Chains A and B, each alone.
Chain A
Amino acid sequence: MARQAALKREAHKAATDKEKLRGVHGGAPHSAHEIDRLIHERLRLGIISALAANESLTFNELKHLVKTTDGNLSVHARKLEDSGYVSCAKSFEGRTPRTEYRLTAAGRRALERYIDHMEALIGRMRNK
């Protein structure tokens, strides 16, 4: 009886561990228990973090801060823009085009949610 109960516990534990892993590797940002894939990617997380520390940043400043190439940055910034986490304004400074990025309220909330999630993961491991 006791053995069976122990087995059951193990099975349950394995299942929840699996669930946690799934939360990290995939899933939509809708559920509070799943990780936001949009900002889980390193470069996009960097863009969001850099913008969280500034009112706005130009394309070149962002490129310098997250240490990436023009192409990479524009692809990932576009993805964040499409999901409404980042807003982008294009203007001209004399003849040179200037692209300025800002974090939207949704983007800031997403970052906060992500940080909470990471802290919860760490807290759960500590309590074991």
Chain B
Amino acid sequence: MTSAYSVSVSALQQPETPPALHDRAMDNLRYIRETMERASAFTAVPGWGQVAIGLSAMVAAYLAAHQATRRAWLGVWLAEAIISLLIAGWLMDRKARKLGVPLFSGPGRKVAFSLSPPMVAGALLTVVLFRAGLVNAIPGMWLLLYGTGVITGGMFSVSIVPVMGICFVIAGALGLFLPLISGDWLMALAFGGLHIIFGTIIARRYGG
């Protein structure tokens, strides 16, 4: 009788309290992680890092404009693309390490997943346009697709980030339909200038 009683008590007790505690603890941990992710999405790539990318684009534009062949010109811009990615990747990794969160959780993953599809599309179109001899259309196409990625990636961030993306798209469209300046000038002013301007605003307003 007693043992039957003790069994029924434990059977009642087991599902009552421990799972509730367990669920609450899980829920609290989830809340901490989500809040930290949301908070760090504020500046996945720090503002002054964007300034650095903008400056490297200015240098690349100067070098690209002084190349004798189209192939060498393309080579300079491809090198610039890799340098920009390395700057962004390094800064995001540094920030993730400092905060003790894995790079490809939360904001890092959002940025990577929203930027990589338009960048792959841009790489493929670069080959197509280059082969077709439509080199003048390449910088506008780059800006258009880069802006698209920044808009979608920036949806989770502060509102200034998608605004920056819209500016890239407008610059790209102008480059394609109203080619008033050379492709290198367009890249220097848009990819370089917009990164420097918005990077400075983000660094000053959101710290870092």
> A and B bound?
yes
Q: Provide the bound-state CA to CA distance between A122 and B2, in Å.
A: 32
- A52-B36, A65-B39 given; A45·B19 CB < 8 A: no
Q: Is the CB of A49 within 8 A of B40?
A: no
Q: Is the CB of B29 within 8 A of A125?
A: no
- A14-B13, A52-B99 given; A125·B32 CB < 8 A: no
Q: Is the CB of B39 within 8 A of A6?
A: no
Q: Is the CB of A128 within 8 A of B36?
A: no
Q: Provide the bound-state CA to CA distance between A114 and B25, in Å.
A: 10
B36 contacts across to A, CB distance below 8 A: 49-50, 52-53
Interface of A is mostly: helix
Contact size range, B: 20 to 34
Chain B residue nearest in CB terms to A6: B6
- A3-B2, A10-B9 given; A45·B28 CB < 8 A: yes
Q: Is the CB of A118 within 8 A of B28?
A: yes
Interface readout for B118-153 with A: 1 if CB under 8 Å, 0 if not? 000000000000000000000000000000000000
Interface of B is mostly: helix
Interface readout for A79-95 with B: 1 if CB under 8 Å, 0 if not? 00000000000000000
B35 contacts across to A, CB distance below 8 A: 45-46, 49-50, 53, 65-66
Tell me the smallest distance from the CB of B202 to a CB of chain A, in Å.
Answer: 13
Q: Provide the bound-state CA to CA distance between A32 and B92, in Å.
A: 34
8 Å CB contact of B39 from A54, A115, A122:
A54
Tell me the smallest distance from the CB of B76 to a CB of chain A, in Å.
Answer: 36
A56 contacts across to B, CB distance below 8 A: 207
Q: Provide the bound-state CA to CA distance between A60 and B25, in Å.
A: 29
Contact size range, A: 35 or more
- A10-B9, A13-B10, A49-B36 given; A125·B31 CB < 8 A: no
Q: Is the CB of A122 within 8 A of B10?
A: no
A window 1-15: CB within 8 A of B: 3, 6-7, 10, 13-14
Q: Provide the bound-state CA to CA distance between A40 and B24, in Å.
A: 11
Interface readout for A89-120 with B: 1 if CB under 8 Å, 0 if not? 00000000000000000000001001100110
- A118-B25, A121-B22, A125-B19 given; A54·B6 CB < 8 A: no
Q: List 4 other contacts, CB 8 Å, given A53-B39, A54-B42.
A: A45-B31, A45-B32, A49-B35, A122-B25
Shortest Cβ-Cβ A-B pairs, 10 listed = A49-B35, A53-B39, A50-B39, A125-B22, A53-B40, A53-B36, A121-B25, A118-B25, A49-B32, A10-B6
Q: Give me the interface of A with B, judged by CB distance under 8 Å.
A: 3, 6-7, 10, 13-14, 17, 20-21, 24, 40, 42, 45-46, 49-57, 61, 65-66, 111, 114-115, 118-119, 121-122, 125, 128
Q: Give me the interface of B with A, judged by CB distance under 8 Å.
A: 2-3, 6, 9-10, 13, 17-19, 21-22, 24-26, 28-29, 31-32, 35-40, 42, 99, 101, 206-208
